[in-house]
Amino acid sequence: MATQIKFGTSGWRAVMAEEFTFANVNRAVHGIARHVSSQKANGAKVIVGRDPRFLGETFCATAADILSSYGITPLVIAEPAPTPTISYAVIQSKADGAINFTASHNPPEYNGIKFSTPDGAPALPEVTKAIESAIAAFDAHPQTPHATKAEAQSIDPRRMYLSRLREIVDLDVIKKAGVKIAFDPMWGAARGYSDAFLREAGVTVATVHDTRDVLFGGHAPEPDDHLLEDLRHKMREIGAGVGIATDGDADRFGIVDEDGTFLQPNYIIALLFDYLVETRGWKNGVGKSVATTNLINALAEKHKIELHETPVGFKYIGELIKQDKILIGGEESAGLSIRKHVPEKDGVLAGLLCCEMVARRGASLGTQLEQVFAKVGSYYPLRENFRLTPEVKEKFTEKLRSDPSEFHGTKVAQAVRTDGLKLVLADGSWVCYRLSGTEPVVRVYSEARSREDLAKLSAAAKAWIFD
């Protein structure tokens, strides 16, 4: 029996040679081609791109062949390209979608397919369900239409995307400040993007992991604290004021301060929100997932800006960007975008805006965070994962349906069910539980107003699962 191909928030991902096989890629692309044809009978065009993973070029060639057999013109990107670049290319070339072969920050043995809709956004659930149905229909009747084959075309969206970034990022400010920057693309799709962009403007940049390695140094291409030692070393070597990193497909970011401290994405989103209000004068709203820091809530209140709190999944932020309801939107898992830009996570843009912010304010990121804390109070967020046995999971799932009046000896002020269960306590701290849909894990997000309180809250959050 054929594997069921399921597209989640970020598409379909699987281990290569197990489920991510040529046969299954064929099925997935046939499903996408059928879906696109159902939306536009004639003259459709679909972008085909990839990150630098193993066999990416071959998968792109396969996808292009299948699309052209449906009369859909494949617009093929020859070199690995960041997910936000592909998203921007969809909008600019008025394409009917994009197939992006990437497993993002997953380990090297994975590959995947992300599908973007004509607005450049990640496909919403109604679209992915339609694609899954189209795959099932192809499995039942695997013939292709007798369409006139469309000729594949080659596109290179790099220049177009970087020129868009030049409109957003103030390169003069970075150059004048003389800030030195270190960049780690983690062997991923942003190679030749962030560093080349800055270097062209005369900024001093040093890069690590700037070769193709389909094994990403032997670990997941995830710009997380413990994987950024080489970036820190390079920063010390050149005296960099900021270190910027991107994941495998460059939709996520990792930022290191001048003293080597990793700033968690929660803080970067809050700082950039504050900075964009100050420098761009935008006031139209801010978006964040329910699991993202309430420092953003406090800043929204201070700046008198409307707050939109969404379920987890960047597609919800993307919708707010498309409607121009927010000036910035972000998730604690290191995804953000800004107004009048792509409705997709952009790790390249996030890093470059941090460079601009450090340059203009003439202060380290740590100092800037202290200044924000001085304005609205301090916030200490944490995310933890706990594995559950079947018995504990069943019992805990039941518990999540309850409405506790107190937690950790503190009165529950509000129970929010936007996504999972978020308990906001009377003292302003909170804990949010979300069960994973793919593994026996509960994700626990907690936030308190001091480090000591966070340690206590984290212990209580864990105890509440297992008691």
* pLDDT for residue 102 is more than 70: yes
Domains and CATH numbers, the chain: 12-156 (3.40.120.10), 160-376 (3.40.120.10), 380-466 (3.30.310.50)
* pLDDT for residue 144 is more than 90: no
Residues 6+ apart with CB under 8 A from 96: 36, 39, 40, 44, 45, 46, 72, 118
Q: What is the CA radius of gyration of the chain?
A: 22
Least Cα distance to 116 among 252, 314, 352 occurs for 314
**CA–CA separation, 371 and 435 (whole Å):** 35
Element (H, E) at 303: helix 295-303
Average pLDDT, integer, range 22-33: 97
**CA–CA separation, 52 and 36 (whole Å):** 26
**CB-based contact 181:240 (threshold 8 Å):** yes
**CB-based contact 117:123 (threshold 8 Å):** yes
The pLDDT assigned to 328 comes to: 98
* pLDDT for residue 362 is more than 70: yes
**CB-based contact 246:265 (threshold 8 Å):** no
Least Cα distance to 350 among 363, 362, 365 occurs for 365
CA 132 from centre of chain: 23
Instruction: Name the pLDDT band for 3 (thresholds 50, 70, 90).
Output: confident
Instruction: Name the pLDDT band for 83 (thresholds 50, 70, 90).
Output: very high
**CA–CA separation, 351 and 246 (whole Å):** 8
Instruction: Name the pLDDT band for 9 (thresholds 50, 70, 90).
Output: low
Least Cα distance to 113 among 125, 121, 104 occurs for 104
Backbone angles phi, psi at 20, to 5 degrees: -85, 80
**CB-based contact 67:44 (threshold 8 Å):** no
Place of tokens 């944490």: 382
pTM, 2 dp: 0.96
> Could you tell me what percent of the chain has a pLDDT over 70?
100
Lookup: tokens for 244 = 């910027």
**CA–CA separation, 185 and 187 (whole Å):** 5
**CA–CA separation, 76 and 73 (whole Å):** 9
Tens digits of per-residue pLDDT, 163-221?
999 999 999 999 999 999 999 999 999 999 999 999 999 999 999 999 999 999 999 99
- Residue 454's SS3 state is helix
Element (H, E) at 88: helix 83-92
| Contacts by residues 408-415 (CB-CB < 8 Å, ≥ 24 positions apart) | 408/456, 408/457, 408/460, 408/461, 408/464
Tens digits of per-residue pLDDT, 396-415?
999 999 989 999 889 999 99
**CA–CA separation, 397 and 310 (whole Å):** 22
**CA–CA separation, 290 and 418 (whole Å):** 7
The pLDDT assigned to 310 comes to: 96
The pLDDT assigned to 1 comes to: 65
The pLDDT assigned to 438 comes to: 75
On the 0-12 / 13-18 / 19+ scale of CB atoms within 10 A, 142 is: exposed
Average pLDDT, integer, range 32-55: 96
Which amino acid would we find at residue 381? P
**CB-based contact 174:197 (threshold 8 Å):** no
